[in-house]
Amino acid sequence: MMQWSQLLRRYLRRIPPGSGNFTQDLDKFLPGNKLTLLNTGGEAFASMWEAMESARHTIHLETYIFYSDETGQEFADRLMAKARQGVSVRLIFDSIGSMEMDPLFLTRLRNAGVRVLEYHPVAPWRSNWAWSNRDHRKILVVDSRVAFTGGMNISHDHAPRQLGGGDWYDTHVKVEGPAAYELDRLFRAVWFKESKKWFPLLDYPDQTPGTSLVWVAANQEILHRHRIRSAYINALRAARREVLIANAYFIPDRGIRLALAAAARRGVAVKILVPGISEFSFVWHAGRRRFSQLLREGVRIFEWPGSILHAKTAVIDGVWCAVGSYNMDHRSLLHNLEVNVKILDCDLADQMKTRFERDLASSREITYEKWRDRPWMDKQREKFWYLFRYFF
């Protein structure tokens, strides 16, 4: 295994000139990982199915949405097949996120040997029912060695158009190495907390298949509720050249807004890609309430004109990257279980930046002059829905 000091020196040598100093959280990063960017549902699902097929010991799947549509059926068939082969298969799904799941679909999974945990079942008659606390994470771990995480749910919304899917704009990442084991530990922590049943993980991997530094940032512990947000703010404060963010539900709190504005004022090129349309119009209107403040400070905002944008990604100075389930809104900050992988990898940053630049070129930029003159009724909708930002 390559020593941490060697990997750190390699990372420092590859930082582009003029980039910020992102070493403030280095003690939280795990070295020796290999990452593969998956930019479409077609790519992500195919890679996930391939990994599931290779499983010899365990498959752990945690998701906010698991629909019993064509994509969900494909995942279910593969989970059941591996369970029948003797692989230990566990599934965590969120009760509200997966409300459209057919109960018979769930029965089939259980009968095939898949262990299923429904996160915070819809049960308003229970005194301890926490309707607002949801499991919004998307994690798949195979044999504690290969993992996937990002913004994609188990739903036909993310499937390619040629297969009848929605082809949503989203990003997943395949993780091989120590960070995959860390994602498995997060899965087990939720399983144990909700079911009170403990299970051992496989031995910690002794191989380092790559050179990426990865911090698996989660917010499930009460003391670390703001961990993902803090990592974003630290990175924004360190930025010296460029900040690129794509976020599905962009309703940033005051701290994030101030960090973005401060970066723009010191000459950093700050560009944010937001949805041009949304499946939740009230969230879309609320998110636009604070555009004026950011635009005045020099932050550039672009609207994606294509399919629904569901990604939660960032690239800063061609060095620091983020992929995960965390939206820059109050629900992710205060209520949901979320996970993001923070990555120090110049090659992956280049790939993500290439996609950003291509997509920004196809998007509509919102200028301050045009924004100031938008219809009066739009301004009233934004003000109204912004009042409910803590509850979306």
Torsion of CA 170, 15, 32, 82, to 10 degrees: 10
Contact 122, 309 (CB under 8 A): no
* C-alpha pair distances (Å), 375 with each of 232, 243, 259, 273, 372: 33, 30, 29, 22, 9
Catalytic (active site) residue 342: no
Q: What is the DSSP string of 76-109?
A: HHHHHHHHHTT-EEEEEEETTTTTTS-HHHHHHH
Residue of 25, 135, 184, 317 with catalytic role = 317
138 labelled catalytic: yes
C-alpha span between 100 and 64 (Å, rounded): 12
Q: Whole-angstrom Cα distance, residue 111 to residue 76?
A: 12
In whole angstroms, give the CA distance from residue 61 to residue 139.
6
Structure tokens at 82: 């591996």
* Set 60, 82, 120, 138: catalytic member: 138
User: Is there a catalytic annotation at residue 378?
Assistant: no
Judge whether 1 and 205 are in contact, CB under 8 Å: no
Catalytic residue among 120, 310, 330, 342: 310
196 is catalytic: no
Q: E strands, 9-166, where?
A: 30-38, 58-63, 88-94, 115-119, 139-142, 146-150
In the residue annotation, 226 being an active-site residue is answered as: no
Which of 69, 94, 135, 143 is catalytic? The answer is 143
Out of 60, 136, 174, 271, pick the active-site residue: 136
Q: Which of 60, 312, 330, 335 is catalytic?
A: 312
Bridge-based pairing state of the strands 172-176 and 269-275 = unpaired
Collapse the DSSP code of 220 into the 3-class scheme (helix H, G, I; strand E, B; otherwise coil) and give the result. coil
- Cα 73 to Cα 79: distance, rounded to the nearest angstrom: 10
Q: Catalytic site residues?
A: 136, 138, 143, 310, 312, 317
